Amino acid sequence: MTSEAIRRLLEQRLTKARLASGGKDQRRVSVELDAGDIGEAVRALPQDGRSRFVTIVAVDKGLDIELLYSFSLDGVLVTLRTSVQKETSTIDTITPMVPGAAFIEKEISELFGVEFAGHVRRANLVLPDDWPTGKRPMRKPLVGDVIPQARASVENLLSGGTSIRVGPSSAVKREKAGLSKVPPLVSTNDDQMQEFKDLLARTGFDKRAGFDWKKGKLRYK
């Protein structure tokens, strides 16, 4: 199959995935998908023996661990790209479909702390038997793009529209000064505040910063 044919096949079978174009390299196809769809994506590849599993590459991106599953299909490298949040670090094992993935899943599990749910091996494979439990040598601390000095400001900004928190003390001061309790900020109007949040989300800043909208906080301290 050509890379274009592979792309069309995967587009038909994986409606939720995002396929990147091959660009100048006509022997590569990249598919971006949610971690929960990895099994479906592996099953979407031709199951007649032509889809040869190559490896899984783990990349610690600070907030998430990116997993790149590579398959060789008729000389074309097909990469299924997904991520797991470090807070959960869990993805289903693909070993029922691809037994040859057992070794690399175990290696990633030991070195990066990703749990491949359903993987049968318990004992260490690459780390010494007496390696401290929970210590993952390739895993970096949970941290996003925002420097420590900006974190409080970013949280205030994304949750309330100002870099300084609008709190009870400012309301008291303003009332005593004969002003309205709160200045005419975006946070005083629900519709405008939602628009403001939508605007920031469209810039992708919330993802780069690692902001959890539900909690109103960054995912890291």
Partner 1 sequence: MNKQAFFLGCVIPLRFPGIEVAARRVFRQLGIDCVDLEGYSCCPEPVVLGLTDREMALAMSARNLALAEKAGADLIVLCNGCYETLAEADHVLRHDEPMKARVAELLASIGARYEGKIRIKHFIEFLHDDVGLERITKAITRPVDVSLALHYGCHLFRETTHPDTWRKPRMMKSLVEAMGARCVDYGLEQLCCGFPISQFDKNAALKERLLPKLKAVSTTNAEALAFCCPACLNQFETGQGGVGDLGVDVARYPCVHVLELLALSLGMPAAELRLDFRSGSTKEFFECFWG
Question: Where on the chain is the footprint of partner 1 (CB under 8 A)?
Answer: 145-147, 149-150, 153-154, 157, 161-164, 166, 170, 173-174, 176-179, 183-186, 188-189, 192, 195-196, 198-200, 202-205, 208-209
List of residues 6+ apart from 193 with CB closer than 8 A: 161, 186, 187
The residue (of 208 and 215) whose beta carbon lies closer to partner 1 is 208
Q: Which of 80, 79, 73 is nearest to 34 (CA)?
A: 80
Q: Which of 48, 49, 98 is nearest to 69 (CA)?
A: 98
Taking the complex as a whole, the smallest distance from the CB of residue 80 to partner 1 amounts, in Å, to: 29
Residue 11: enclosing H or E segment and its boundaries? helix 3-13
- The span from the CA of 85 to the CA of 35, in Å, is 10
The residue (of 135 and 173) whose beta carbon lies closer to partner 1 is 173
- Residue 115 in tokens: 């749990």
- Residue 193 in tokens: 């505040």
The residue (of 115 and 145) whose beta carbon lies closer to partner 1 is 145
Taking the complex as a whole, the smallest distance from the CB of residue 145 to partner 1 amounts, in Å, to: 7
Taking the complex as a whole, the smallest distance from the CB of residue 6 to partner 1 amounts, in Å, to: 32
- The span from the CA of 117 to the CA of 210, in Å, is 25
Taking the complex as a whole, the smallest distance from the CB of residue 170 to partner 1 amounts, in Å, to: 4
Taking the complex as a whole, the smallest distance from the CB of residue 152 to partner 1 amounts, in Å, to: 10
Q: Computed from CA positions of residues 79, 203, 194, 209, in that sequence, does the dihedral angle turn out positive or negative?
A: positive
The residue (of 25 and 195) whose beta carbon lies closer to partner 1 is 195
The residue (of 59 and 199) whose beta carbon lies closer to partner 1 is 199
Contact 32, 20 (CB under 8 A): yes
Taking the complex as a whole, the smallest distance from the CB of residue 180 to partner 1 amounts, in Å, to: 9
Q: Could you identify the residue written with the tokens 């070195």?
A: 111
- The span from the CA of 62 to the CA of 75, in Å, is 33
- Residue 3 in tokens: 């890379």
The residue (of 125 and 164) whose beta carbon lies closer to partner 1 is 164
